[in-house]
Structures are given as structure tokens and as C-alpha cells.
């Protein structure tokens, strides 16, 4: 079981958390002007990297707050944990969508 450090509550067991998938996917500012391809990219396409992955986590059985993390999808190691709204550490991850 993973040990995950909630930025609000400290280290807790994985079973208190739920992974919310890829982070930094921003809702398009002008949805009405979006092409079908751009919609598909926003709604369905995911980077799914082998290595560092920026993702959202919810401390569902704790403080019930969302936060972001950079986690290695091969070792499962949490490289960074940061609050929603903060930018991901640039040295850990390439340009992410919505942060350009």
C-alpha cells in the first residue's frame, strides 16, 4: 500500500485517497468555438506517460480536499505534492496542457 502525504493532513494510507486522473486539463475558455478534434483531445485524450505523471488526488476519507501530485508510474514514487492552483515543479515534468 502506498503512503501518501496529504498537504493538509500529512502522511496517510492509500485507502484514504482516490486518484482523480491527469491534472492540469483546463476546460476550454470558448467551448462554442472548439473543433471536434479539440473537444476529443480535451474530453478523451490523455498523456498516460511511462514515468512522471501529474495527477489529481482526493483525500476522500480524510479532509475531502483535492490536491495535485507528480508520481512516477513505474515506481509509484510520489516526487512532489502541491496544492490545486500551484504550478507543477518544472524540473519534474514537461509542459502540461493548460499550463502553457
Partner 1 sequence: MTRFSIFSLARNALTGHTGWDRQWRSSELKPDYDVVIVGGGGHGLSTAYYLAKEHGITNVAVLEKGWLAGGNVARNTTIIRSNYLWDESAAIYEHALRLWEGLSQDLNYNVMLSQRGVLNLAHNLHDVREGRRRAYANQLNGVDAEWLDAAAVKDFCPIINISPDIRHPVLGATLQRRGGVARHDAIAWGMARAADARGVDIIENCEVTGIRREGGRVVGVETSKGLVGAKKVGLVAAGHSSVLAELAGLRLPIESHPLQALVSEPIKPVLDTVVMSGTVHVYVSQSDKGELVIGAGIDGFNSYAQRGSLHVITSQTGALIELFPIFSRLKMMRSWGGIVDVSPDASPIVSKTPIDGLYINCGWGTGGFKATPGSGWAFAHTIANDRAHSVNAAFSLDRFTSGALIDEHGAAAVAH
What is the contact surface with partner 1 in residues (CB under 8 A)?
Answer: 1-2, 14-15, 18-19, 21-22, 36-37, 39-41, 43-50, 53, 55, 71, 73-76
Give the Å distances, CA to CA, from 20 to 31, 34, 36, 56, 91.
Answer: 23, 25, 25, 5, 23
Q: Residue 97 CB, nearest distance to partner 1 (Å)?
A: 10
Distance CA 63, CA 6 (A): 9
Q: Residue 91 CB, nearest distance to partner 1 (Å)?
A: 21
Distance CA 59, CA 4 (A): 10
Which is closer to partner 1, CB of 24 or CB of 53? 53
Q: Residue 50 CB, nearest distance to partner 1 (Å)?
A: 5
Amino acid at each position: 500500500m502506498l503512503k501518501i502525504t496529504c498537504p493538509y493532513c500529512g502522511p496517510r494510507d492509500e485507502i484514504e485517497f482516490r486518484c482523480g486522473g491527469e491534472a492540469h486539463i483546463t476546460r476550454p475558455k470558448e467551448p462554442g468555438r472548439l473543433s471536434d478534434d479539440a473537444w476529443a483531445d480535451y474530453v478523451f485524450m490523455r498523456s498516460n506517460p511511462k514515468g512522471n505523471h501529474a495527477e489529481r488526488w482526493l483525500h476522500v476519507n480524510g479532509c475531502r480536499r483535492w490536491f495535485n501530485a507528480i508520481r512516477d508510474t513505474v515506481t509509484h514514487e510520489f516526487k512532489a505534492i502541491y496544492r490545486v492552483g500551484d504550478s507543477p515543479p518544472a524540473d519534474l515534468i514537461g509542459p502540461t496542457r493548460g499550463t502553457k
